Chain A
Amino acid sequence: MKQVKSRIAIKARDLRNFWRDFSANKLGLVGLAILIVFFFLAAFSPWLAPFEPTEIRAGPLMGRPSEVHIFGTDQLGRDIFSRVLYGTRLSLLVGLSAAAIAVVVGTLVGLVSGYYGKASGEALMRFTDLFLVMPFLPLVMVLATLLGRSLFIIMVVIGITSWPWMARVIRSEVLSLKQRAFVERARAIGCSNAHIIRKHILPNTLPLITANAILIIPVAIMAEASLAFIGLGDPLTISWGSILESAFTNNAVTLGLWHWFIPPGLGIVFLSLGFALVGHVIDEVVNPRLRKKGA
């Protein structure tokens, strides 16, 4: 029991050190604050939203902002403010789950191809290159059309198109790690390859995985918004992309209905910014080579 306690103590000390380095960077804190706000909005949207987001004729059709509808209403009279609030949930959900898929696939491919070098590794990498050179949006469009327009499919499609980059990053790290003396030590001890990958290579790439995972999230959020905007989103969900799409098809831009497209647009921008800032600062903390001099 005592031993377990001290193990936890070690982890706590690591976390404190990490927080000290992280909080030294103002941009990271700004990013974190943005994320906290969005997570709060997403978690409490049912209580914060004045109307049901799907309620038709909650107000006038395409109404201007008023005290009741602060972002106005859309072409069906639905409250845009409530829809933007609920859209936060979807963006976070898609961003996090697509990133999770990309991280799992990318890490696996990166570890295996980096560690086993030779023919199998090379083959995996050429396969990765194949995905990497495919233009992202057209591929997602084709897949989304083929596989259907459900939310789940969209998450999977974004996930499986975002991993190649991750795989390359992990692979290059593994290539350098496996040359290190401690891997030779592990082999001499009699560890199997699977054991070495799991116990030595993976923990050493974990910081890199974390930083990159967070950087994939904004990409996934953008991808979902783009899909919804061109009409390939799940028609049954409320997302920032689909609000933008309805604004666009109802000529909100030419009619000067800024309250219709600015809020979801800003939502996408700031949520992505929040993740990008946090991700870059974590990358900087865990990767000493990126640290500024004197920091």
Chain B
Amino acid sequence: MLEIRNLDVEYRVPGGIIKAVNRANLNVAEGGSLGLAGESGCGKSTLGSAIMRILAAEGRISGGSINFDGVDLLGLSEAKMREVRWRDISMIFQGAMNSFDPTMTIENQIAEAIFVHQSSVGRKTALERAWELLRLCEISPTLGKRYPHELSGGMKQRACIAMALILHPRMVIADEITTALDVMIQAQIFRLLRKMKEEFKLAMIVISHDLSVLAENCDHLAIMYVGHIVETGRCHDVLHSPKHPYVKGLQFCIPKFGSNREVIPAIKGSIPSLLSPPPGCPFNPRCPIAIPECQTVPPKLVPIDTDGHSVACHRHDYEGVVWK
């Protein structure tokens, strides 16, 4: 349903131009769910905003294509794109942060998409639909009259989900939706999200830096590193038989119960500056198995099996131990 081909996104910053997303390729099937993981600043949220074409003023899509149901989103006029937003693809924001307007009641913000997209629908009907969704999201509709600051983080996150579904979109992008919430609430929110996915037959892109959250909630996974998608495939394949040394390294980041206080091995070094990325593979300065080719030739994302498991690494067939 969603096909992203060779997408480039740039930001103009005081020191020059940085490539936040570099030749990204992604597919999301009808009703499928894709997890997008990576550390802060790797471009995963930028990729989400690029799909909606709501990049900040400094950002710009400099190449590639985004195809949604046969429509090239990058070719649409701004007015046409405004219609697509929320009606076809909506977003769940990090509700605990200030993604609600403090001067507007919750119900008005949930119904706002109806006011904007379907002006023929009366105010009363719009609000009734908002209450209906609040109820589905397990919030009492009476809370709709409240202002954002009167709700807890978990309630706001539920309201955010209600808001995303108000126009019955076919795809939802969930951007770090549980980042500021505790684990209990996190589990509740994702249970709700799965329920809604069933109910509305949604396709989803879940953006998170938490691999365990994605493993639980998605069927496909894409791992990003400084603007590049380095490995993608079915969740199980990527997590259980990773091929990229970076993804192999991430495996160790999840501490195991009962593992006698062992020191978690860290990937040495730090992410390179986006202003002057290393030539060749972006991971080569930190990679223990880099070969000279890695420093000159950027690896392409190539399929390694027939199930869509793809890796961007010159040494993806390396069988030895990468991290000690």
Contacts and interface: CB of A to CB of B under 8 A. Distances in A.
Are A and B associated in one complex? yes
B104 A189 contact: no
A191 interface: yes
A181 interface: yes
A20 to B, nearest CB: 17
B96 to A, nearest CB: 10
B187 interface: no
Interface string B83-118: 111110011011001111111110000001100110
Interface string B62-86: 0000000000000000000011111
A180 B98 contact: yes
Contacts of A27: none
B94 A181 contact: yes
B98 to A, nearest CB: 5
B54 interface: yes
Contact of B52 (A188, A191, A199, A204): A188
B113 A10 contact: no
Contacts of B112: 186, 189, 191, 199
A10 B144 CA distance: 12
B102 A204 contact: yes
B57 interface: yes
A204 B85 contact: no
Contact of A195 (B91, B105, B116, B127): B116
B191 interface: no
Nearest to A202: B103
Contact of A189 (B85, B97, B100, B145): B85
Contact of B103 (A117, A185, A190, A203): A203
Contacts of A188: 52, 54, 85-86, 90-91, 93
Interface in A94-125: 117-118
Interface of B: 49, 52, 54, 57, 82-87, 90-91, 93-94, 97-105, 112-113, 116-117, 127, 145, 147
A182 interface: yes
B93 A181 contact: yes
B99 A190 contact: no
Interface string A237-261: 0000000000000000000000000
B145 A6 contact: yes
A189 B167 CA distance: 10
B145 A182 contact: no
A189 B99 contact: no
A281 B26 CA distance: 55
23 contacts: A3-B127, A7-B145, A181-B98, A181-B99, A182-B101, A182-B102, A184-B49, A184-B54, A184-B93, A185-B93, A188-B52, A188-B90, A189-B85, A189-B86, A190-B83, A190-B84, A190-B87, A190-B113, A190-B116, A195-B116, A199-B101, A200-B104, A204-B102
Given A185-B93, A188-B91, A190-B86, 6 more contacts: A10-B147, A182-B100, A188-B90, A189-B90, A189-B113, A192-B116
Contacts of A184: 49, 54, 93, 99
A118 B57 contact: yes
A190 B86 CA distance: 7
A187 interface: yes
Contacts of B99: 181-182, 184-185
